[in-house]
Amino acid sequence: MNPRPRLTMLAALLLVAGLTLPAGPAMTAAETPALGEVRFEVGCAPEAQAAFNTAMAYYYSFVWHRTTEPLTHALQADPGCGMAHWAQALALLDNPFVWPANLSAQKLDEGELLIGAARTSGLRSQRERDYVDALASFFDKHADTPHKERAQRLERALEAMAAKYADDPNAAILHALVLSANFDPADKAYTNQLRAAAILEPIFRAQPQHPGVAHFLIHSYDYPPIAHKGLDAARRYGAIAPAAAHAQHMPSHVFTRVGAWRESIEANRASAQADARQTWNAMHAYDYMAYAHLQLGEIDAARDVLRLAGEMPITDHFASAYAYAAIPARLALERDAWDEAARLELQPARDAYPWAKYPQAEAVNAFARGLGAAARGDAAAAQAEIERLHRLRQVTEDKKLAYWSEQIAIQAEVVRGLAMTRAGELEAGIGVLAAAAAREDASEKHVVTPGPILPAREVLADVLRTHGRAVEARAAYEAVLQKEPNRLRAMKGVAVAAETAGATADAQAMRAQIDAR
């Protein structure tokens, strides 16, 4: 159990027992970090109100581990401030865009306890009771109720809150967050995301320094066809909350989606430097930074990022695990370094890291090794990685991680299709790759990654180009660029395929576009 859950559990138990926390020193204005402007009215003593606002400012920038200190101080200043326990329960839910992978039974049990503590300690208005009831809908009967049902329950409850308390923007902001996170990966109309953005845009105009509004707008627009709509929020969020490392990183989600690689590098460098605790956020930033350097052809800079990541303390977190596997995989695959890819080892080593907790991250390593083996024509090694991917997929099935189960299945098919083309089954292999590409196109990338480790359609394009089908290859590379603008490997593919097909002017234009970036 990490320190934050221990402390929140202690606070809850003390309240339930009718005891109070010892008084502590007040947080002064000089100690209040630069997190933007948040005003979340609760019926608590002024000192507790100030601490509660600070905690919610941390929450809105996804700095959950920093909410403990101000919320503990709020309870010290006002033991009857039940909303402090509500905020502790909210922070336990971590990142809703990663649900349910980041929600353990222990967290959900503790959330129920904190909801009880909020009700027992004192709620001073119907609005506060409604907030607690809304959040309770997520925790209630969690052992017997599927995650999706509870997430939708919370979305509906927050929507009702926002309608009932139209003068409280926080209810609308939280509703927009959960609405956006509850998106359907197959919905290419981006219904939930655009509904969330429509809620947030007028609030952003009214409260331009609110960190949650800028942050959640970026999440809502984090999709290729609509990413340009998030550029304003992306370019402002870091300055709104300079003390939050995640606020420095988050703009790079939009920068990545529009292919603004320099801006992405700078955002992630600032994020890693701001992360004095060297948490998962820094590793997450390094993955995005390495990807951006690779899209500019800056191989040595990407290697430097890998070195910096390796010098960090090991962090047990899904985003960290993903970065540990992804950064070296990207370095090999983006350079067509197939021998290197085929030999990639998990770092940290298996005996030094709980890889079993993160099958979707380990699958990145298996995918890279499988592609490397298949590209070299090593059918046995490729098959071994395909079987490993199938085992990892089964683990995600057992964990009820449906999204990742599908992604790993696609990875296995990409390796299988490439291996078939190398084994002389060209048309059958192309068919497998085309089907895998269609499945990948029908889903969305996860927020943990700046982009596919190697897009399925790009692998298909490589095969088509290698076998003299330049026109088809060019179309496939261009389809990749529709989803992943300014992706270097696909741009180079377009240039080569166009040249091969006799479209010399188009090839020259693409090479000029590459050089101009």
**pLDDT for 26:** 39
**Residue 353: which of 402, 403, 310, 409 has the closest Cα?**
310
Residue 280 CA to residue 23 CA, distance in Å, equals 32
Phi, psi of 206 (to 5 degrees): -80, -30
Does the pLDDT of residue 30 top 50, yes or no? Answer: no
Alpha carbon separation from 275 to 211, 243, 283, 328 (Å, rounded)? 17, 9, 10, 22
Displacement of CA 457 from its chain's centroid (Å): 23
Alpha carbon separation from 454 to 334, 371, 403, 460, 479 (Å, rounded)? 8, 9, 18, 11, 14
Residue 310 CA to residue 308 CA, distance in Å, equals 5
For residue range 72-97, what is the model confidence (pLDDT) as tens digits? Answer: 999 999 999 999 999 999 999 999 99
Angle (deg, nearest 10), helices 318-333 and 299-311: 150
For residue range 412-429, what is the model confidence (pLDDT) as tens digits? Answer: 999 999 999 999 999 999
Q: What share of the chain is helix, strand, coil (3-state, %, to 5)?
A: 70, 0, 30
Tell me the average pLDDT across 40-49: 97
Residue 342 CA to residue 373 CA, distance in Å, equals 5
Displacement of CA 119 from its chain's centroid (Å): 32
The dihedral formed by the CA atoms of 496, 253, 407 and 283, expressed in degrees to the nearest 10: 100
**pLDDT for 186:** 86
Does the pLDDT of residue 465 top 50, yes or no? Answer: yes
Amino acid, res. 436: A
DSSP string, 311-349: HSPP--SHHHHHHHHHHHHHHHHTTT-HHHHHT---SS-
Sign of the CA dihedral running 257, 261, 266, 270: positive
CB 410 within 8 A of CB 435: no
> Can you read off the two tokens belonging to residue 40?
């979340």
**pLDDT for 275:** 84
Does the pLDDT of residue 508 top 80, yes or no? Answer: yes
For residue range 333-386, what is the model confidence (pLDDT) as tens digits? Answer: 999 999 999 999 999 999 999 999 999 999 999 999 999 999 999 999 999 999
Alpha carbon separation from 318 to 44, 99, 281, 292, 348 (Å, rounded)? 36, 11, 10, 21, 13
Domain spans of the chain?
Answer: 1-25+32-182
Does the pLDDT of residue 331 top 60, yes or no? Answer: yes
Residue 476 CA to residue 469 CA, distance in Å, equals 11
DSSP 8-state assignment for residue 513: H
Tell me the average pLDDT across 459-483: 98
> Can you read off the two tokens belonging to residue 311?
């010098």
Residue 257 CA to residue 126 CA, distance in Å, equals 42
**pLDDT for 18:** 39
Q: HEC profile for 85-124?
A: HHHHHHHHCCCHHHCCCCCCHHHHHHHHHHHHHHHHHCCC
Cβ neighbourhood burial of 62 (10 Å; 0-12, 13-18, 19+): buried
**pLDDT for 23:** 38
Tell me the average pLDDT across 266-286: 90
**pLDDT for 21:** 40
For residue range 151-193, what is the model confidence (pLDDT) as tens digits? Answer: 999 999 999 999 999 999 999 999 999 999 999 988 999 999 9
**pLDDT for 32:** 57
Q: What is the mean pLDDT of the chain?
A: 93
Does the pLDDT of residue 24 top 80, yes or no? Answer: no
Q: Which residues contact 429 (CB under 8 A, 6 or more apart)?
A: 417, 418, 419, 420, 421, 422, 423, 463
Angle (deg, nearest 10), helices 231-240 and 211-220: 150
For residue range 292-312, what is the model confidence (pLDDT) as tens digits? Answer: 999 999 999 999 999 999 999
**pLDDT for 102:** 86
More reliable by pLDDT, 445 or 54: 54
The pLDDT-based confidence of 255 (bands split at 50, 70, 90) is very high
